[in-house]
Amino acid sequence: MLSRQNSFYKEVLYNAIHESTKINSVRLISAGTMNQSVLLDTDKGALFLKSNYFESANIFHQELKGLTLLHKHTPLQIPKTIGAGRIDNQNYLLIEWIPGGYPNPQYWETLGHGLAELHMATFPKFGFDEDNYIAILPQNNKYSNNWAQFYAEQRLEPMLGKAFYDGLITKDFYKKSQKLYPKLPDLIPNEKPALLHGDLWSGNIIVNQQGAPCLIDPAVYYGHREIDLAFSKLFGGFQSRFYEAYNDIFPLEPDFETRADIHNLYPLLVHLNLFGQSYLPGIKKVLKKFL
């Protein structure tokens, strides 16, 4: 098994770098249910390799594309991309290794200002030029002029439909949830499409050696910027200075705190489909609030 893995690592390096690369050591970073991550110490430097056996061969191509786009539109550090592909039935993403550190005194202000600048990158429509993924779930990105319609049809409905198909929710609950859709235009303020990280929870922000924030694992598209801010509140871990710094640069519309639950229906449904019914009470609580 070890020799097979070493062979895979060597082939990844050759495919991504296009020249012979010596591996000095391999260190396991994580081995979750979705991805395996390792640190490759090579004669080209330290590299981060993520792999999985997911059936869609383009899953890491889309992540690489997202990282590249973020790099163009925010001053925050984004890992440099090296390559993505598929070898036999194993997908891989090879990127720069970011050595860790401890948050510096300006950490939260830097993150807030950097996210605000990212959200200032706009586009004529909501969506993206290709469908991509959030975690391992497909994420539809067909362009739309209307955020409420986009959110209902391409975020909530696919996740609710999957949950019903997989037996995680009843038909009655599915139908009840759809009653939220016509209410969305009155609940969410109109704004220009903003470039989103798309999966902004504390686990997707790491601290570099200088103590500054670095964004990883995006699920990019042009959407309503409150999505990112709401998601950051869902599992906690962000200090108030982050939100204050964001508002200094790009103030949110009044009553964002009340609307955050609407935006978080999407990540809650994602987690329901990924991890099961323990997330259902939170979804029911949001629907009860707005229906």
Catalytic residue among 43, 129, 172, 199: 199
Residue at 284 is within a domain: yes
Residue 125 sits in the same domain as residue 145: yes
| pLDDT at res. 32 | 78
Residue 159 sits in the same domain as residue 65: no
Residue 58 sits in the same domain as residue 111: no
Render pLDDT for 63-89 as a digit per residue (tens, 0 to 9): 999 999 999 999 999 999 999 999 999
Residue 29 sits in the same domain as residue 62: yes
Residue 25 sits in the same domain as residue 119: no
Residue 152 sits in the same domain as residue 245: yes
Where b means 16+ CB within 10 Å and e means fewer, 205-233 reads bbbbeeebbbbbbbbbbbbbbbbbbbbbb
Above pLDDT 70, what percent of the chain? 99
CATH of the domain at 127: 3.90.1200.10
| pLDDT at res. 31 | 86
Verify whether residue 199 is a known catalytic residue: yes
Q: Assign 3 a pLDDT band (cuts: 50, 70, 90).
A: low
Question: Could you tell me the residue range of the domain that residue 31 belongs to?
Answer: 2-96
Between residues 252 and 19, the one the model is more confident about: 252
Of the given ranges (5-9, 116-120, 252-256), which has the lowest mean pLDDT?
5-9
Can you tell me the mean pLDDT for 226-255?
97
Using DSSP bridges, classify how beta strands 81-87 and 213-215 pair: parallel, antiparallel or unpaired.
unpaired
Residue at 101 is within a domain: no
Residue 124 sits in the same domain as residue 87: no
Can you tell me the mean pLDDT for 107-126?
98
Residue at 102 is within a domain: no
Residue 87 sits in the same domain as residue 179: no
Residue 112 sits in the same domain as residue 190: yes
Residue at 73 is within a domain: yes
Residue at 91 is within a domain: yes
Render pLDDT for 26-67 as a digit per residue (tens, 0 to 9): 999 998 788 999 999 999 999 999 999 999 889 999 999 999
Residue 67 sits in the same domain as residue 121: no
Domain count, the chain: 2
Which of 74, 96, 118 finishes a domain? 96
Predicted TM-score (pTM) of the model is 0.95
Helix residue spans in the chain (DSSP H): 2-17, 59-73, 107-119, 147-151, 157-165, 171-178, 184-187, 226-234, 240-249, 256-263, 265-275, 280-290
Render pLDDT for 117-172 as a digit per residue (tens, 0 to 9): 999 999 999 999 999 999 999 999 999 999 999 999 999 999 999 999 999 999 99
